[in-house]
Amino acid sequence: MSPIGSGVFKPEEGTRALPEPVKQIFLPPAATAAPPPQYGDVDALCHLDRMYVRIKKELFSKPGDAWQYLKIGTCAVNEDTADHYYFLYYLKGCGIKYEEKEDYSTFSNTLTYKPPSTGPILRELPFSVNVRCKYYKHFYAYARGYHPDLKAGTVFAELSLYSQFTLRPYDDKWEPLKPSDSFTIGKPMYFAVKVPPTNCAERTYINQCFITPTSDANANPRYTVVDNNGCMVDSKASTSSKFIPHADKTTLRFSIGAFVFRDSAVLPTGGWALYLHCEIIEGPVTPSPSLKSCTYDKGTKKWTELYDNTASVCSCCEATCPSAVPADSRKMVSSDPWKLGMPSEQRIEKAAVVPDLTEADYSVDGFEKY
């Protein structure tokens, strides 16, 4: 008999306090409540004869209209709340596919979003998501551990100033965009042109800027965002596209409404990679029709200069502005690539899979039970 059993359970006369080891056996601590389930941007809920799918409205730039372009297989949205769109359908409709495996069975379908497009670019991203209900025939568990051997070290790299200017993408806090980060379709992308401190520049200007899907500045397709010697032409199409003031006028900041080229609308693994190419020049602090940073204001329907309220320097943006630099002496500067993806891309890319659930399991806030 174990040490616990040899003493604490021995019969005796009278009463005494219950020994601590016995308390632990007969009065175990109350179990803590499980944390509430965490839901994603696209959720699937499976029952014996139906599939419920919901998607967050915040994923869309125009959430009130997105339902028109959403489908699960061949079926349309048939329920919505302030925060979600819902598809509530039985497993025998909407073009659902059944597949029988040795250990499980699946019912799968595809959630698609196909907004309308105009022109060569898209600022609302189409996507498709595989949605699956998976029912296991056998249940088992196993564990496997792997502990990598990490080795620290130091890497030395030679730095070189390859250009008079630097053109880089930034996040909304004006921190350099990390390789793991990405911009979101329909939201602003941020950029800055900087001049090395050794230069005696007074102010930095952009003659033209365009975006391509490759590092080749001569590649097609391309989309022009700045043209006509300093006119942010894309500001007429997107309010996110504009020049942004900065205390140091040798640094030129601006934003561009994120988009994807229409011919590459299928989401590749890891998102799209885009490149910005700009023709940059140094000039005097006072702008001119040849050297300026003009943004179109949709409210006033007028062009405004970044640091000078003199409207005359921007008036040529609706015509042809004179050039201050001969074409053969201009230099194009290209940015590092950046990634572009849809909202919550990593979570949406994952197929929504839910194993065999009971009615208690699918009684989730926001889902209608049949």
Tell me, yes or no, whether 23 lies in a domain.
no
Tell me, yes or no, whether 188 lies in a domain.
yes
Tell me which of 155-169, 199-213, 229-243 is least confident. Answer: 155-169
Query: What would the mean pLDDT of 122-144 be, rounded to a whole number?
Result: 71
| Together in a domain, 71 and 187 | no
Using pLDDT thresholds of 50, 70 and 90, give the confidence band for residue 329: low
Tell me, yes or no, whether 80 lies in a domain.
yes
Reported as a single tens digit per residue, the pLDDT across 259-291 is 888 776 554 545 678 999 999 988 889 999 999
| Together in a domain, 199 and 273 | yes
Using pLDDT thresholds of 50, 70 and 90, give the confidence band for residue 252: very high
Tell me, yes or no, whether 150 lies in a domain.
no
| Together in a domain, 223 and 287 | yes
Structure tokens at 236: 């007429």
Structure tokens at 206: 């952009």
CATH number at residue 91: 2.60.40.3210
Pick the more confident residue, 159 or 324.
Answer: 324
Query: What would the mean pLDDT of 63-91 be, rounded to a whole number?
Result: 87
| Together in a domain, 83 and 197 | no
Question: What is the number of domains present in the chain?
Answer: 2
| Together in a domain, 182 and 131 | no
Reported as a single tens digit per residue, the pLDDT across 122-131 is 777 778 888 8
| Together in a domain, 128 and 181 | no
| Together in a domain, 181 and 88 | no
CATH number at residue 301: 2.60.40.4100
Pick the more confident residue, 357 or 8.
Answer: 8
| Together in a domain, 173 and 314 | yes
Tell me, yes or no, whether 104 lies in a domain.
yes
Order the strands of the 84-90 sheet from edge to edge: 42-46, 50-56, 84-90, 79-80
| Together in a domain, 84 and 200 | no
Domain that holds residue 242: 166-343
Model confidence at 358: pLDDT above 60: no
pTM value surpassing 0.75: no
Reported as a single tens digit per residue, the pLDDT across 36-73 is 656 678 888 887 778 888 888 888 877 778 888 899 98
| Together in a domain, 183 and 232 | yes
Query: What would the mean pLDDT of 322-327 be, rounded to a whole number?
Result: 76
